[in-house]
Structure formats: structure tokens, C-alpha cells
Amino acid sequence: MSTRMFGEPIARREDPRLLTGQGRFLDDLGRGALAAAFVRSPHAHARVTGIDVADALDVDGLVAIYTWDDLPGRVAEPLPLLIPHPALTHGRTGYALARDVVRHVGEPVAMVVAADRYLAEDAAERVRVGYEPLPAVVGIENAERARDLVHPDVPGNVGAVLLQENGDAPAAIADAPHVLEFRLSIERSASTPLEGRGVYARWDADDGSLRVYSSTQASTSVRAAIAAKLDLPPGKVEVVAPDVGGGFGVKIVHPWPEEVLVPWAARLLGREVKWAEDRREHFVASAHERGQLHDVRVGFDGAGRVLGLDVRILHDHGAYTPYGIIIPIVTSTQLLGPYRIGAYRAEVRSLYTNTLIVTPYRGAGRPQGVFCMERTMDRIAAHLGLDRADVRAANLIQPDEFPYDQGLTFQDGRPLVYDSGDYPELLRRVRDLIGWDAFEGERRAAAARGRRIGIGLGCYVEGTGVGPYEGGHVEIDSAGRVHVSTGLTSQGQGHQTAFAQIAAAELGVPIESVRVTTGDTRRFGYAVGTFASRAAVMSGNAIALACRKVRAKALRIAAEALEADPRDLDVTDGVVHVRGDRSAAVPLATVAVLSNPLRYAFDAQTAAATQFATGRPPSEPPVAPGDEPGLEGRDYYSPVRSTFAAGAHAAIVETDPDTAEIRILRYAVVHDCGRLVNPRIVEGQIHGGVAQGVAGALYERMAYDASGQLLNASFMDFLMPYATEVPAVEIDHLETPSPLNPLGIKGAGEAGVIPVSAVIASAVEDAEGIGIDAMPLSPDALFHLRRTSAAWSAAGTGAGTGAGAEAGSAAGAGAGRRREDDDAGGVARGAGDLNPASPPDPSRGGEPRPGQPGIVPEGEL
Amino acid sequence: MKPPPFAYTAPRTVDAALEALAEPGAKVLAGGQSLIPLLNMRLAAPARLVDINGVAGLGALEATAAGVRAGALVRHAAAGRSEGAARVQPLLRRAVRHVAHPAVRNRGTVVGSLAHADPAAELPAVLAVLGGAVEAASVRGRRTIPAGAFFAGPLEPALAPDELAVSAFFPAAPPRSGSAFAETSRRHGDYALAGVAVTVALGADGTVRSARAGYLGVGATPLVLDLTSVAAEGACAAAFARENVDPDGDVHASADYRRHLAGVLTDRALREATAEALAEARLDGPGARDGDGGGGGAA
């Protein structure tokens, strides 16, 4: 087997097309189609008292206006709850168009179809909807307080209570020498792909079939949903994901209201209908993620080993739960990271609010979990006066402990068992890469120039490549072209390149001859979708397995032609030959011709396969029993459980002593996703992930006001970082193959984003000597933290600046410091050692003392 | 995000543009960097757009000993590139560098930014601190509106609905003077959370004769403070700024933080402008700038 293509950092084959404007995105299609626009709720919570369309009927070019009353059969029923879970006892989903009550700003109330989008918006503006406002539930604390309810039949606004438990964490904490307790908060953000959602449908009345293009991450499942809603046989519905301008999770949700309504209207009207979401709609009508509060109790020993960890997670899932409770399941399991924790307990309460739905965004609950665990590690280090990296090292799972069973159930319903990894090596390499051990010198040198810098790090484990399955189909045509297809979709990941590399390596063909099709139900009907860093693991392995079938068949047919033993054959550059003898050879193109016995030749080449030309004995059928015509193969990959990638990140930041601006000076990533198919693509994934991580750490939040209005629903006010805000990323790879799949690979799509908030918080805390427990962290927030911390310090011993350096260790300070009771509504709560029986160890000199700058006195609670 | 219906006129002369603007509901389209988003978000619904991009005679950028005059079609990029303008009034280039991004600067106009009167924008603060003026024209006649009277409120210039701002005038920097522009924004190129344009002029004896600061992002209109009495001591100037600005909070920053920034940025810009003024005074001696300022031509 030629393996040169696998692992090579070749340039992405799709880029010339995409970068020169030749992409074919949803809104590039259907030029003549009617346009849909939606009347959306301006209220976070209201009863719809009436809809008056009279004014809108005057708009020239109006074709139709639909409200819930117009919807027939299953189109009128609630949208599906995609991932049921026993803990989701009060799952609720919305309607394609609001029925009686709207529960978030942006919920669709009426659909307008007109000759173009301008006219559709003109008409939509004239639809008068009567609303009787109801009290809006906004913010996690308000949801938990439950003074008002989002759904009248969901008591306490609690959609789900999920318990994850391994051992007796409360008892372990009670017995631990040291105990800390604190609250953490992560705000909302969103995937915000540059291309919004979109649907374009055309109905063929004669054929009774529907063709739908959707900017989706799951075309096969969209097909199933549309077929079910519109009562069509699946075979009469084709769904194609064209070029998709980013997904990052939000486009895995389906069917969106628009995905049902646009095809329904196309069939009803007998006209092509298209809807391309605009940016404002995307902010209020797609999905968000991240918003959680964590109440943490941790017990640990003098070496910083975690003996017990008990986390209460409050998760804001917005107005409905179409995607179940995947995010908090991921948070509560992946929180454990690369660590061996004595006993663990996580209680998740998933709460309704009158805000946009919450569904996975790159990282899918992991950034919150990792923030929790890594903040905990930093607090332990500060409390004990230990180096932060050493505390992590003391807790790491060791290389000889794999497979390592964390004793929990993962998001795929399977046991949380890590397949492979080398976490101590990850940590060692990231320390080297960032220069952890030499940083105190750098800090002093910077301080001498009046500059304030800090260093931080964080580790994570990411379950990737979840099942249930993906498939691959590979066909070699009589020109020697290799056609690879898989059902999952592409949103810019480089599948055209990575899958072609796998096929080229497996088949022994030049990559130029390989064409890859994804997300087109006409080519491959069975698939799950692109999410959970699973495409390379799932479809990559399925394609490899399909290639192996095709290769075996090619060798068998070539062996007949060459009168050789298939075991003596090899394939090089698309030619089957006797190993070590390139003269005894037959091209795969010819093998493809021979694989398909023909009655009719359509060119000189295929004449070789006609009935008077082939050499099969007349006593045997032209196609042998059990064989099939054609040089093609199909196979599926279905793993018993997920693979677990891992990494360690570190950063050096600078904070402006005057303006409180935060600048990332260096960012280092050590990453292990098993065998690399294409290091360049993996690095691109890491760069993009880190960029979104920086976004979540320093810039992006959803600014809802108390009435549920989203105040920053534009790219002017929602601060997606520019290239100018994203640091250059220094990368080192570790390759620990997964034993679970033929290619030994693990997923890489989400890794970059996962620990960034934790790392930046660690570094800012180190620079400032102020505890950081909420992200994102704006200059304004840091300014206020400095003020409150300075005010507190002034009451104690004085200045609180530069404590990171003064603490005399790389650990800086931070943990155990007084929390800021900020707008997010955190409960001000000290973090002094709660097990007062444990005596401070004066010889170490690291136990916090009352009055030390920025350190909370014991008993602050 | 498609605009509501509007009529569209693309006049070729100023007179034709003024006639079109005399009709009720007309609105000027120049660079479109603020107006087009407002239209697309249906926050503005003018009956008619009067596109002045084809109007002859509005593209001149003149730098003379008196100052820099920018016609209504002078793009930010051109104003920033002009060496003549930079010699006559260096503050203009310093501020333009902070206006959004190159794509916006290539299309957006200096006068359009003034006429939009966004209190967080850079150029209104520059016009205000320099004591410049806007020339407005309508079928009723022409008038010059001094900066102090031009910014009536947030997004509210002192232009009548039928008036076209045909040019803006930025007075030249006096001899022995310096200027600086400082702002803090969340992302590179964003509207500033707070910003300040500072000018310092020295007397013949090298003492500060005048120090002025024009603020953006800390009030409803560009605020000008006379720092002359506090300019000697950076901390005093910062405190003076904090006491006299009147910022609001929004989703990006609290009023407190903006007030704090006004102080920090005042201190920084004042030091920089003073240092430049001192260098100018040492280097060129009295009147040096007057000598080479007249050579600038139209850009």
C-alpha cells in the first residue's frame, strides 16, 4: 500500500475554488425562486392574540402569507425532540410557526412568500401581530428562582436533572485535608458561521418528488425529517448540502422551522421557494451556547491531588430543548479532563429561559467543563502555594492506565472510557513550548519596564468520533477516476482533501484522480452528520474500509487478467502490477472496464469488456455468483465507543496597568488527535478553534436585557475577534494512535476552542493577582475587578497589584481570592479552606494568610 | 435585511443635487458606510436617495496655509494618504488611521462621517477640537457652520433636511504645536469606547499657550475641554478629564470605565502632543510650519 499521501501536509484541494469566489453556497442557487421571509416575535414571552395580514396584501409581488392556522397535519405539530434522554423529563419543542405563545425574541410567527426577498420583507413588515406580553425569564438565576415560568407545565423551569456520579464525592470532600468552594460563570456565545442557515426547495409535481438544498450539517437526517413531516417516502426527497460557509455546530440542529416550511410551501405553491437567513435572524432565530453557572466543592490533599469533586451545574438551555441535554452531559463528563479524580459527582439542572435555544457550538459544553476543572487546579495550586503545572501533573492519568474508565456515561450512551493518550508528555511539551520554567525571569524583566505579564495553562480531553456510524462509497470508473462519497456534510473542514488522501493511500492512486462528494443524499443515503469532531474518524475509516473492498476486488480482477496471484499484486499510481515487476501491469481504469461485463461498447476501451472479448469460460456466468458488476465498494464504520483526543494549551498575556486591556502575547498548543491525516488541516482546525476560544475568553457574549431583548444582535456589537485580535498559535503534535479504529485517528475539529477560556483566565489571574471566575473577561470587567480587589486590599494591607510576582511562585495567586459579585449575579463567596481542621504547613509558606495582598481570609464565608 | 423601497437619483452637478434634496424625504448617499446598514436594517426609510458620488467638484482635498478643506467626496483613505494634509494638520491623518478598516476607509467619506455625527466617531472630535467648520449648501443658499454648532446631538448634525454638506475645513496647526490621537476600542477598528484628540501649542517662551482635547465616545456630542490650565501635570489633566466627561454605559463598557479611560487617554495624548510641540519648537523655530504649509494641493 502506498502510504505517502496519508499524513502529508498537502494544501487543501478545495481552496482555489473557494478562495476565488467559485463556491456554490445556498444563496448562489435558485436565482429564480420565490423568496421567503419571516415575521418574528419582538417579545421574549407573549401570547399571540391575533394576526392581521390585510396591510401586507397590498404589496405587489406577494404570493402567500402563512400562520400556524394554515399548517396541515404533521407540519402543525411541535418540532421533534431530536435526542431524548431519561433525565430530560420536561423536554419541550416549539412549533414551526408559533401557535399561541412565543417564548423568545425571534420565534417565527408567520411566513411570507413573495417574488423576491425585498418584497417579502416589505410584506412581513406590514403583518400586524397582536401580543399580550407575559413575564420574561432571563438569566440562569431568574430561571432557577422560578418566580415566572417559561412553560406553564414545567415546574421550576427545570427541563432536566442529571446526576453523574463515580464514588462518594461528598464523603471524600468531608474527609479531605483541604476544601475549597467557589462559583464560576461562563456567558453565552454562538457559532456565528459567516454563512447563515438557508433552505431552497423545488417540487417536481409530475414525479412527486422534492429536491431540497439546505445549509446543514446533517443532510440525511434533514431528509428523514422532511419526509416525515410532509408524509413523503424518503426516496422521493433528495437533500443536498451545497458548499456550506461554516457550521460550528448550529447547523446540526434540524429540522429548523424553515427547513419544514420552505419545502412545504414549495409543494403547496408548485413553485421554487428559497429562504436565506440574514445576520439579524441568525442572532435571534438560530441557536446559542455556553451559558452555565458552576458551584464547585473540591477536597484535596497536600500534594494537590483531588480526592473529591462535587459540581452543581446550572445550564441555560433557552426556550426549548430540540437537541436534548447533550451539552450539559458533555460538560459534566468532559469536565474530568485528563485527570484521575478520587470521587466525582456532578448534578446538572437544565433550565428554561425566554431566550434563544441552546444547542452545541464547537466544543459543545467542554469549554465550560474545562474552565471548571482548570480553575479548580489553579485554585488548589494557589491555596497550597504549589506550581500550577505541578498540581496538574499530580493528578494526571498515566500512560499505562489506558483504557481508563472514568466510571460515567458519555453523550453517546456508552461508558466514558479513554482509549489512549500520554497526558504527562502533553504537559511536559507545553511547558517546554511556552517556556513555563523560565517565565519568572521574563516576568521580572517585563515588570522592570513597567509591563505586567502573566502565564497560564490548561489541559483537556475531548471525546471525538461518536457513533452510531458513517459509511463510505468508492467507485473507480473506466477512466480511472475514483469517486468517493460519504453521507456526512462539509462546512469547510477540508474533507475534499483529507478523505482523498485516505482514499489515495488505501487504493494506491494519485490524489488528483480522487473526487469526493459529501452531504448529498443522491450519492449516499445513510449518514449521521458532521459534529462532535467525528468526520475524519467516522467517514475517514468508513472510506478506508470501502477502499479496501475495492482494492481487493481490483486485485482479484487484475490477477485474472495478469494470470497472477492477487497476493503478489500491488497498486502504484493507479496501476495494478506484480510486486517488484512494473511490466506485468494493468491500470485500474482497465480493471474497471473488466469489472463490468458489457454487451454494448461505447468506446474502444470498453470494447475489451464486451461478450466476445472477455476471457471468462463459457461455462460460467459473466458475473460470478456473489459478485457484482463495477469496481465499487461500500462499507460502514461503527465504533463501540468514542475516541478521546487530548491537548494542553498555554498562553502568556499582558494586561495594561492603566486601561485594563488584555493582549495575548503568545499562545502554545500541544495537541494529540492520534495519527494525523493531514497536519496542515489539523493546524488550520487548531487556529480556527483557538480564534473562537479567544472570542469566548475575551470578546463574545450575548447581551440580553431583563426583558429578553438581545442588545448586540449584529456584527458591530457582537464582538467576533478579527485577525488582529487572534494571536499566532505555536503548535506541537503528539500522535498517540487510537486502538479503536483501523486508521488510528481521533477527531480534531473542536480541540482548539476547548481550553482557551481556562488558559486565558489562568494567565490574567497570574498577571493581575486577582481571582478570575467569569468569562468572557472584558477590559471593563477587569477594570472593575481591580477596583473591588484594590478596595478590599486597601482595607487589609494595601496594594494588590503585582501579587502574581509577589507570591513568589509561578502559581501566582488568584485562587482563594474574594470573588467579584458581578452583573452575572454570582454569589459573593470566599474560598478559604473550608476544612479548618487542616493545619497550614508553615514550612511551605504557601498557605494563604489573612491580610496577604488579595488573599481572602479564612472564614470569609 | 433588505431596505424598504426608495427612489434613487444620481445627479451630476451640485445644483441638481440640491434640487433633488429640496424634495421632502430625500437623503444624501455618499460613501454609504453608515447609511446602507441603516437602510438594510430598516432603521432609516428615506423616500429618495440622492447619490452624490457622480457629482463633479466635490472630490477636492485642498491643503493651504490656513488649513485642510475636504470636499464631500474625499474618502478617508485619500485624506489619510495626503502628505499635504498631513503637513498642514497632522491630526487628521492620525485620526483617520483609527477609522474602521481599509475597506471602510476606501469608501467612506470624511464629510459623511461628520454629517453622520456619531459621537463615537473620530472625525467629529477632530473637527471639534480644531474649531473647524462645515460648509452647507441648499437651494436656499450657502452657509458655514462652525464645529461648535454643528454637532447638535447624537447622530444629529445641524443640517436642514435640504442641505448638503459640501465640504469640511480643518484649520492648520499653528507654529510650535503638536497633536496626538488616542483611543481604546474593543477590537482593532471598532468605534472607540473612549478616545481623545489633543492639540498643544507653545508660546515663544516654550510654555503651553493652549492645550485642547476633543473627546469621542464619552458624551452625546464631541466634547471639547480646554486643558491649558492643567496641562503641566498629566495627573491633573487626567483628573480634569474624568470630572468633565459625561459618558453613558452600554453593552461594551460601563460609564465608569469610559470615564476612567478618558483620564488615561488624556494623560497619554497630552504627553505625546506636548512632546511633539516641544520638538517642533526646538527643531524648526518660530513660524516653521507656516512656511511649508502652503504647498499642499488637491488630492
CA atoms of A260 and A257, how far apart (whole Å): 5
Residue A368, pLDDT above cutoff 50: yes
* pLDDT-derived band at A752, boundaries 50, 70, 90: very high
Q: Alpha-carbon torsion A600, A603, A609, A611, what sign?
A: positive
Q: Does B4 touch chain A (CB under 8 A)?
A: yes
Q: Which residue of B has its CA nearest to A120?
A: B2
For A775-816, what is each residue's pLDDT tens digit? 999 999 999 999 998 754 554 433 333 333 333 333 333 333
Interchain CB distance below 8 Å, A721 and B187: yes
Average pLDDT of chain B? 93
Ranges A424-433, B24-33, B276-285: which has the least confidence: B276-285
Interchain CB distance below 8 Å, A780 and B3: no
- The stretch A555-580 carries a mean pLDDT of 94
Please return the burial class of A580, using the count of CB atoms within 10 Å of its CB with bins 0-12, 13-18 and 19+.
exposed
Residue A826, pLDDT above cutoff 90: no
| Dihedral (Cα; A463, A465, A467, A470), 10-degree rounding | 170
The ipTM, to two decimals, is: 0.92
Domain spans in chain B, listed from the N-terminal domain onward: 1-173, 177-283
How far lies A376's CA from each of A342, A370, A408, B219, in Å?
14, 10, 20, 42
Q: What percent of chain B is modeled with pLDDT above 90?
A: 90
User: How many C-beta atoms lie closer than 10 Å to residue A737's C-beta?
Assistant: 16
* pLDDT-derived band at A620, boundaries 50, 70, 90: confident
Q: What percent of chain A is modeled with pLDDT above 90?
A: 86
Listed residue (A218, A289, A826) closest to A538, CA to CA: A218
| Total residues found in chain B within this entry | 299
Residue A1, pLDDT above cutoff 50: no
Please check whether residue B150 is in contact with residue B127, taking contact to mean a CB–CB distance below 8 angstroms. Answer: yes
For A194-230, what is each residue's pLDDT tens digit? 999 999 999 999 999 999 999 999 999 999 999 999 9
Residue A679, pLDDT above cutoff 60: yes
What pLDDT score was predicted for residue A598? 86
For A409-466, what is each residue's pLDDT tens digit? 998 889 999 999 999 999 999 999 999 999 999 999 999 999 999 999 999 999 999 9
E strands, B72-207, in order: 133-138, 141-146, 151-153, 156-157, 164-171, 177-185, 192-202
- Cell matching residue A427: 504537559
Interchain CB distance below 8 Å, B252 and A717: yes
Classify domain A164-190+288-465+641-806 at the CATH class level. Answer: alpha beta
What pLDDT score was predicted for residue A830? 43
How far lies A637's CA from each of A207, A351, A505, A529, in Å?
34, 36, 18, 13
**A122 CA to chain B: closest CA distance, Å?**
6
Please check whether residue B154 is in contact with residue B119, taking contact to mean a CB–CB distance below 8 angstroms. Answer: yes
- Cell matching residue B197: 484628540
| Dihedral (Cα; A333, A334, A340, A345), 10-degree rounding | -30
What pLDDT score was predicted for residue B190? 93
Q: What is the CATH number of domain B1-173?
A: 3.30.465.10
Q: Does A705 touch chain B (CB under 8 A)?
A: no
Task: Name the amino acid, one letter, at A47.
Answer: R
Residue A756 has phi, psi (to 5 degrees) of -65, -45
Q: Does B43 touch chain A (CB under 8 A)?
A: no
Give this prediction's pTM.
0.92
**CATH 3.90.1170.50 at A32-134+191-285, yes or no:** yes
- The stretch A836-841 carries a mean pLDDT of 49
**CATH 3.40.190.10 at B177-283, yes or no:** no
For A18-56, what is each residue's pLDDT tens digit? 999 999 999 999 999 999 999 999 999 999 999 999 999
CB–CB contacts below 8 A, A to B: 66
- Chain A interface, mutation test: which of B183, B242, B260, most A Cβ atoms within 10 Å? B260
Same fold, B1-173 and B177-283: no
What pLDDT score was predicted for residue A856? 31
Q: Which of A117, A121, A658 minimises the CB distance to B264?
A: A658
Query: A333: helix, coil or strand?
Result: helix
Ranges A119-133, A678-692, A831-845, B76-90: which has the least confidence: A831-845
Q: Does A28 touch chain B (CB under 8 A)?
A: no
* pLDDT-derived band at A818, boundaries 50, 70, 90: very low
CA atoms of B83 and B90, how far apart (whole Å): 9
Q: Which residue of B has its CA nearest to A715?
A: B190
Please check whether residue A650 is in contact with residue A513, taking contact to mean a CB–CB distance below 8 angstroms. Answer: no
The DSSP secondary structure of A493-540, one letter per residue, reads S-HHHHHHHHHHHHHT--GGGEEEEESBTTT------S-TT-HIIIII
- Cell matching residue B93: 491623518
Average pLDDT of chain A? 91
Q: Does B2 touch chain A (CB under 8 A)?
A: yes
For A693-733, what is each residue's pLDDT tens digit? 999 999 999 999 999 999 999 999 999 999 999 999 999 99
Residue A85 has phi, psi (to 5 degrees) of -150, 140
- The stretch A641-656 carries a mean pLDDT of 97
What pLDDT score was predicted for residue A581? 86
Please check whether residue B271 is in contact with residue B234, taking contact to mean a CB–CB distance below 8 angstroms. Answer: yes
Listed residue (A448, A456, A599, A469) closest to A525, CA to CA: A469
Task: Name the amino acid, one letter, at A644.
Answer: F
Q: Does A715 touch chain B (CB under 8 A)?
A: no
Edge-to-edge strand ranges of the sheet holding A344-351: A158-166, A344-351, A306-316, A292-300, A178-186, A774-775
Fold of A467-595+630-637: Aldehyde Oxidoreductase; domain 4 (3.30.365)
Q: Does B102 touch chain A (CB under 8 A)?
A: no
CA atoms of A655 and A668, how far apart (whole Å): 18
Q: Which of A121, A716, A725 minimises the CB distance to B2?
A: A121
Please check whether residue A480 is in contact with residue A670, taking contact to mean a CB–CB distance below 8 angstroms. Answer: no
- Relative to beta strand B133-138, strand B141-146 is antiparallel
Same fold, A164-190+288-465+641-806 and A467-595+630-637: yes
For B187-208, what is each residue's pLDDT tens digit? 999 999 999 999 999 999 889 9
What pLDDT score was predicted for residue A791? 57
Q: Which of B3, B254, B264 minimises the CB distance to A780?
A: B254
CA A715 to chain CA centroid, Å, is 21
- The stretch A502-518 carries a mean pLDDT of 96
CA atoms of A395 and A306, how far apart (whole Å): 7
Domain spans in chain A, listed from the N-terminal domain onward: 32-134+191-285, 164-190+288-465+641-806, 467-595+630-637
Residue B289, pLDDT above cutoff 70: no
For B203-253, what is each residue's pLDDT tens digit? 998 899 999 999 999 999 999 999 999 988 878 999 999 999 999 999 999
- Relative to beta strand A404-409, strand A415-418 is antiparallel
